[in-house]
Amino acid sequence: MDSSAKSPVQTSKDFRVAIIGGGMCGLACAVGLARAGIHADLFEATAKFEEVGAGIGLGPNALQALDELGILSSIMNLPEASEHADRRMVFVSGLGDHQVLYDYGDSPDCGSLDGGISIYRPTFLDAVLPLIPDPSHMHFKKRLTSISTVSGTSAYTIHFSDGTTHEADLVIGADGIHSSSRTFLTGKDNKEVLDFTNTVAYRGVVPWDVLKGAGVRTDLTSRTFNFVGIGKHIIVYPIQKRTKINIVAFATETGVPVGSVQVAGSWVQRVPQQELVDAYAHWGPDVQTILQHIEKPTKWFIHHLKPLERYSRDRVVLVGDAAHAMCPHLGSGFGQGLEDVFLLCKLLGHPQTNISNLQSILAVYDCIRRPRAEMVWNRSFAAGLHYERCGLPGYQKNDMQSHFQGVWDPIWQHDLGEDVSAALAELIKQGIFTETSG
């Protein structure tokens, strides 16, 4: 664990920072800013930091960002995170005897690059919370209602549902897909910018020894498997030292325009196990066994955020799902949030960054990050469509390889240092910075 991340922050900056949202990106941002010597207050809507008990994938790009932010070693040092599975996906037919259709690890473009790791979301919290330098600056039960400018100053007043306010010079919106801070940029309600993708995901976690004992023949402990079929696919991978299998079973209503259906009620619901089993009634034996052992499945209505025109306005900036909530089909959404946080912390911590040039710096952050995040957004949406074409008339086994060979490479193999260099070059070009030291 990097002790510097836990030291009291001695800020030399002339601006005050507020982070809205205490999810994984918000916490990573707090740690990254602290390492850069920047004090930040973090405001979380709930009563405590909490993550749903499910797995999450971290590609090589995400691991690079976590390492630069001083978080990766803390994750890797946790006993429950000491062993990880290669995330390079194996595509398997969901029907019959589960024939292997394509192994991404065999891709010539993959080279020696591994596919990152998969971890349990609560494990991330266990790793990052001890790195927060001053917990007194973490504020709970603070649900954002609006952001307004302070008359006669350059500051913002942040308004919360409990009637309290807070002033800051820079507001970082890390409040997820349901972001309230995003409204300051778009001027629109979330219903106007979020679309239901016509896909639902049933989630669950089952011990591997239970599945193995029940007769599952596919060894699910070493790789990420994608069982594919018409209109459905199931992602499974090991977590918690390979003792448990994280399961996400997707089902899509085809022929319905994206965004044409409004989901009534909660986007995450408890459902009877039978609903899940019935959805895959004609699939192969391993799939049947896996799904029959998810005792309390949850059903998630998958939404994505329509691409935004910008990620910053004045001195309010978005990171993570608040900026680019995407489909989970490439397992890269969180990684993009970490790339946001990494670049933002690098730029804010630069010696030449001050309150007078914050707006210009955030505009350059937007210029660098938005095109790349949109690329991943588009690839993620397209991947879900291709997964669920397997089995359609005319679909051939080698079609899977032709669609997916190299699809992760521009995501995973991206050099985050190049983003920093490009941002600094642009700031010098604009006359915002005079040199690149620091």
Tokens 């608040």 identify what position? 322
- With a pLDDT cut of 90, the percent of the chain lying above it is 73
Calpha distance 197→275 (Å, rounded): 20
Return the pLDDT at 55: 78
Q: Kindly report, residue by residue over 405-428, the tens digit of the pLDDT.
A: 888 889 988 999 999 999 999 999
pLDDT beyond 70 at 316? yes
Q: How far is CA 412 from CA 59, 61, 63, 338, in A?
A: 6, 5, 10, 13
Calpha distance 239→19 (Å, rounded): 30
**Dihedral of CA 281/287/293/299: which sign?**
negative
Domains in the chain, CATH or no CATH each: 3-80+122-192+306-429 (3.50.50.60), 195-304 (3.30.9.30)
CA 243 to chain centre: 24
The answer to whether 39 and 133 are in contact (CB under 8 A) is no
Quick one: three-class SS letters along 264-320?
Answer: CCCCEEECCHHHHHHHCCCCCHHHHHHHHCCCCCEEEEEEEECCCCCCEECCEEECC
Mean pLDDT (the chain) is: 90
Q: What is the mean pLDDT of residues 141-166?
A: 94
Return the pLDDT at 406: 81
Tokens 């266990």 identify what position? 126
Return the pLDDT at 108: 54
Calpha distance 372→361 (Å, rounded): 18
Return the pLDDT at 389: 86
Q: What is the mean pLDDT of residues 101-112?
A: 67
Q: Kindly report, residue by residue over 358-371, the tens digit of the pLDDT.
A: 999 999 999 999 99
Return the pLDDT at 251: 97
Return the pLDDT at 53: 63
pLDDT beyond 60 at 351? yes
Q: What is the mean pLDDT of residues 146-155?
A: 89
Token reading at 82: 């000491």
pLDDT band at residue 436 using 50, 70 and 90 as cut-offs: low
pLDDT band at residue 109 using 50, 70 and 90 as cut-offs: low
Q: How far is CA 252 from CA 246, 375, 388, in A?
A: 20, 22, 8
- With a pLDDT cut of 70, the percent of the chain lying above it is 92
pLDDT beyond 60 at 192? yes
Return the pLDDT at 268: 95
Calpha distance 244→110 (Å, rounded): 27
Q: CB count, 10 Å around CB of 275?
A: 11
Return the pLDDT at 240: 83
Return the pLDDT at 437: 56
pTM: 0.92
DSSP secondary structure, 89-149, as one string: EEEEESSTT--EEEEGGG-TTTTT----EEEEHHHHHHHHGGG-S-GGGEE-S--EEEEEE
* Burial tier of 173 (Cβ tally within 10 Å: 0-12, 13-18, 19+): buried
Token reading at 23: 């999810």
pLDDT beyond 60 at 5? no
| Residue 88 vs residue 145, higher pLDDT | 145
Supply the DSSP symbol for 150: P
pLDDT band at residue 401 using 50, 70 and 90 as cut-offs: confident
pLDDT band at residue 105 using 50, 70 and 90 as cut-offs: confident
Worst-scoring range by mean pLDDT, 71-75, 189-193, 238-242? 238-242
Q: What φ, ψ does residue 371 adopt, rounded to 5°?
A: -60, -40
pLDDT beyond 70 at 190? yes
Q: Kindly report, residue by residue over 71-99, the tens digit of the pLDDT.
A: 999 998 887 664 555 668 899 999 999 98
Nearest in space to 344 (alpha carbons), one of 428, 412, 416:
416
Worst-scoring range by mean pLDDT, 107-121, 201-215, 267-281, 368-382? 107-121
pLDDT band at residue 208 using 50, 70 and 90 as cut-offs: very high
Return the pLDDT at 83: 53
Identity of the amino acid at 292: Q
